[in-house]
Structure 1
Amino acid sequence: MIELNAYFFALAIPAVIFAGVSKGGFGSGAAFAATPLLALVLDPGAAIGLMLPLLMLMDVTALKPYWRKWSVPHARVLILASLPGVALGAVFYSVADPDLFRLLIGVIAIGFVLWRLFGRARMEGARRLPAWVGPIAGIVAGFTSFISHAGGPPAAVYLLAQGLGKTTYQATTVIVFWVINMVKFVPYAMLGIFSWDTLVADLLLIPVAVFGVWLGVKCHHALSERTYFAITYVFLVLSGAKLIWDALT
């Protein structure tokens, strides 16, 4: 049972706003952080059940400002590869060790940023990762999105290496996670992850979620491309560090 008290909303409101800002303006990479924050006052299953409808609402809210601005080839790779990842997440939800995946994804996210900042600084050519990285990123994104809403960092690692403009990158994450989150809804319902309590909490947090996305869109358009990607890399590092911390503690 979810106690809708002041302590719950003191954590839930900033967590949902942060997730909305991430999804609305910064590639969804750090949106997953709302779930562990909510897990401070909720059972982990209730936390992911509460967040999925809000994430779906954020996806729909973000579709209009980024409509058809995405990269179709990159979105197709991630979406198609994410489907078996979601299926694996549904099968192994009850036995998978989310901490192991949090640790691996956190290390990969931070390692990728260090590689981009230091390794690639001496390599002006070949901006993109090998083609096989895309399907692997999609599978991992689908799987980790299902078990802990942590699909953003794997997708970001792939997309940030493709040399996309800031709006193309952002729009691609919007369409990818719009599809992934819709696909997750039915197996979540079948696994009993949703409850009446999470529905009531979601209804109360709808304005907060929409505001977060609106704020994220405003921030996205207000920043230069250089500043935008600098902040995106900071978000990716913080997300990776948070994943590692959660896994080890």
Structure 2
Amino acid sequence: MPFDLVFFAAMVPAVILTGLAKGGFSGIGLLSLPLMALVVSPVTAAAIMLPLLIAQDVVSVWSYRREFDRRNLATLAPGALLGILMGYLLAAKVSDAAVVLAVGLISVGFALRRMLSDGKKPTVATQASWGAGSFWGFFCGFTSMVAHAGGPPFQIYAMPQKLPPAVFVGTGAIFFAAMNWVKIIPYIALGQFSAANLIASAALLPFAIAATFAGVWLVRRVPAERFYGIIYWLLVVVGLKLVFDGLGGLGLRLWG
């Protein structure tokens, strides 16, 4: 793997986006893999990212260690573990493009519905529940394992609860940190690690850590209403990106 200017020109912005996502602006990190795929294969990109994600998790979990919702973690965890297991067992059989397309459509539909309804009338905050938590937790684990797209399902479950921004981010930080550690075993079993990939991860680590601190700093200074407005728009953008990626992977086009 050549560590040249082209490599770093694509990889450094991708890692910075992931760091900002880990710091609190959930969803934007999904834009990093397409950037990385410009210079390495998607499988290689995923292998390079996992150690970086784990390092970023240390920063985000420490930063929000007192600001998280235990009930959300409890309701999401069982489904997420099952989702990771299913993603591993079906990794060679499930079409990544189909999963990405489904997640994209759900994300765009959810974000637009919430944005339009919030503009017309106040909505009542929902509560964490075992039924919804198990359902969306499964999709978090499955999509994270198969298509590296676990953020949107988490947002769909947690955002209607209108948690304080720091609690929302802290809950996601702990949840995905735990998932990333669990994913190490299936990633090794699938042969997605190599010495070259680990060297690339080490070279990008300083950018990953700095960007995560920047994300934490920004989240703590953005008012709650504006924070959720930003997250909804990010969910729309990321959802549309997933829709285009999914259609392209299935050999379909919206035009042409």
TM-score, normalisation: structure 1: 0.94
Deviation at 1:156, TM superposition (A): 0.7
Deviation sequence 1:38-60 (CA, Å, 0-9, x none): 11211121111111111111111
Aligned counterparts of 1:92 and 1:162: Cα–Cα separation in 2: 32
Which position in structure 2 is the counterpart of 1:224? 223
Task: Show CA shifts across 1:116-140 (max 9, x none).
Answer: 1223544535432784322111101
54 and 120 in structure 1: CA distance in 2 versus 1, 3 angstrom threshold: same
Supply the RMSD in Å over aligned alpha carbons.
1.5
Structure 2 vs 1, CA of residues 121 and 130 (structure 1 numbering), >3 Å: closer, same or farther?
Answer: farther
Partner of 1:42: 40
Aligned mates of 1:74, 1:108 — CA distance in 2: 21
CA contact (8 A) 2:71 2:128 kept: no
Q: Deviations over 1:136-177 (max 9, x none)?
A: 111011011112221001101110011211111000000000
* Structure 1 residues 130-169: aligned runs within 5 Å: 131=129, 132-169=131-168
Q: Using the alignment, how far apart are the partners of 1:177 and 1:247 within structure 2?
A: 23
8 Å contact from structure 1 (residues 35, 148) kept in 2: no
Q: Deviations over 1:34-89 (max 9, x none)?
A: 12221121112111111111111111111111003100001111222100000011
Partner of 1:75: 73
Per-residue Cα deviation, 1:200-240 (whole angstroms, up to 9, x for no partner): 00000010100110110111112111111111111111110
Task: Tell me the number of residue pairs that the alignment of Structure 1 and Structure 2 aligns.
Answer: 247
2:229 corresponds to which letter in structure 1? A
1:193 is displaced (CA, Å) by: 0.5
d(CA) in 1 for partners of 2:205 and 2:8?
13
Q: Does 1:193 align with 2:192?
A: yes
Given that residues 99 and 147 in structure 2 are in contact (C-alpha distance below 8 angstroms), is that contact kept between their aligned partners in structure 1? no
Unaligned ranges ≥5, structure 1: none
Given residue 205 of structure 2, which amino acid in structure 1 is its aligned partner? I
Off by >6 Å, runs of 4+ in structure 1: none
Instruction: State the secondary structure of the residue aligned to 2:220.
Output: helix
Partner of 2:246: 247
Q: Which moved more, 1:112-121 or 1:36-45?
A: 112-121
Aligned pairs (5 A) from 1:98-117: 98-117=96-115
Matching residue of 2:253? none
Tell me if structure 2 keeps the 8 A contact 1:30–1:152. Answer: no
For residues 147 and 23 of structure 2, the distance between their equivalents in structure 1, rounded to whole angstroms, comes to 20
